[in-house]
Chains A and B, each alone.
Chain A
Amino acid sequence: MRETWFLFRHFWKADVRAQHSVAGLVLFAVATVYAAYQVVQGRPEPETWNALAWIILLFTAFNGVSRTLEEDQTEVLAYLRTTVHPLHFMLARTLHNVVVLSGLACLVVAFMGLLLGWADMSAARFAGFLGGMVLTSVALGTTLTLLALIAARAGAGFGMTAVLGLPLVLPIVLVSTNLGADLLSGVLVADTWHNFAFLGALAAGSGVFGAVLFPYLWRAS
Chain B
Amino acid sequence: MTEHQHTTSKGVWAIRIAGLALLAYTFAMTFLVPLGPGIQDVVVTQTELTDKGGVYEVEVIGHGTHFSKTAPRVFLLRGKGVLNATAVKSMDDTHLKCRVRLPAVIPSPSFDVYVNNEIDGTMSYANGFFASGLKVVSKATLPDEPGVLENLSASNLGFHFPFQPNIMESIRNLMLHVPMWFTMFLLMGISFAQSIRTLRLGGDPDRDLRAVASVKVGLWFGVLGLLTGSLWARFTWGAWWVDDPQLNGAFVTVMVYAGYLVLRGSVQDAKLRSRLSAVYNLFGFCLLVVLLMVLPRFTESLHPGKGGNPAFSSYDLDSALRAAFYPAVLGWMILGTWMYSLQLNMERLTQRIADARLTRACMPLPLLLVTPASTTALEDVFTTSGKMPVVTGVAVIILAGLALWWIRAAQKLRRLTHEESNLNSPSDA
Chain A residues within 8 Å of B, Cβ to Cβ: 143, 146-147, 150-151, 153-156, 160, 163-164, 166-168, 170-171, 174-175, 194, 198, 202, 205-206, 209-210, 213-214, 216-217, 219, 221
Contact = CB atoms under 8 A, between A and B. Distances in A.
A205 B272 contact: no
A216 B275 contact: yes
A216 B263 contact: no
A156 B266 contact: yes
B199 A216 contact: yes
B290 interface: yes
A174 B299 CA distance: 11
Contact of B266 (A160, A171, A202): A160
Given A209-B283, A209-B286, A217 B291 contact: no
A167 B290 contact: no
Interface in B264-300: 266-267, 269, 271-272, 275-276, 278-280, 282-284, 286-287, 290-291, 295, 298
B280 A205 contact: no
12 contacts: A150-B263, A163-B259, A168-B284, A174-B245, A174-B248, A198-B298, A205-B290, A206-B287, A210-B283, A213-B283, A216-B279, A217-B275
Given A154-B276, A209-B283, A164 B259 contact: yes
A206 B263 CA distance: 20
Given A150-B279, A209-B286, A160 B263 contact: yes
Contacts of A221: 269, 271-272
Contact of A171 (B202, B276, B283, B290): B290
A167 B283 contact: no
Contacts of A170: 248, 252, 291
A213 B263 contact: no
Given A168-B256, A221-B269, A163 B262 contact: yes
Interface in B226-264: 245, 248, 252, 255-256, 259, 262-263
Contact of B295 (A147, A163, A164, A174): A174
A206 B278 CA distance: 16
Chain B contact residues: helix, strand, loop or mixed: helix
Interface residues on B, range: 20 to 34
B11 to A, nearest CB: 35
Contact of A209 (B245, B262, B272, B282): B282
Contacts of B199: 213, 216
A209 B199 CA distance: 14
A151 B256 CA distance: 14
Contact of A168 (B245, B267, B283, B295): B283
A68 to B, nearest CB: 16
A146 B278 contact: no
Instruction: Rank and list the top 5 A-B pairs by shortest CB-CB distance, nearest first.
Output: A167-B255, A167-B256, A167-B252, A213-B279, A171-B291
Interface of B: 199, 202, 245, 248, 252, 255-256, 259, 262-263, 266-267, 269, 271-272, 275-276, 278-280, 282-284, 286-287, 290-291, 295, 298
A171 B295 contact: yes
A154 B263 contact: yes
Given A164-B263, A174-B295, A209-B282, 6 more contacts: A150-B263, A150-B276, A153-B276, A163-B263, A164-B259, A171-B287
Contact of B282 (A167, A198, A213): A213
B290 A194 contact: no
Contacts of A160: 262-263, 266
Nearest to B280: A150
A99 B298 CA distance: 30
Contacts of B282: 209, 213
Given A170-B252, A205-B290, A153 B263 contact: no
Contacts of A143: 287
A10 to B, nearest CB: 24
A167 B291 CA distance: 10
Nearest to B245: A174
Contacts of B269: 221
Given A216-B199, A216-B275, A164 B280 contact: yes
Contacts of A210: 283
A182 to B, nearest CB: 13
Contacts of B262: 160, 163-164
Contacts of A150: 263, 276, 279-280
A208 to B, nearest CB: 9
Contacts of A154: 263, 266-267, 276
Contacts of B202: 219
B276 A217 contact: yes
Nearest to B268: A155
Most buried by B among A150, A155, A167, A202: A167
A148 to B, nearest CB: 12
Nearest to B288: A168
Nearest to B257: A167
Contacts of B291: 170-171
A74 B386 CA distance: 65
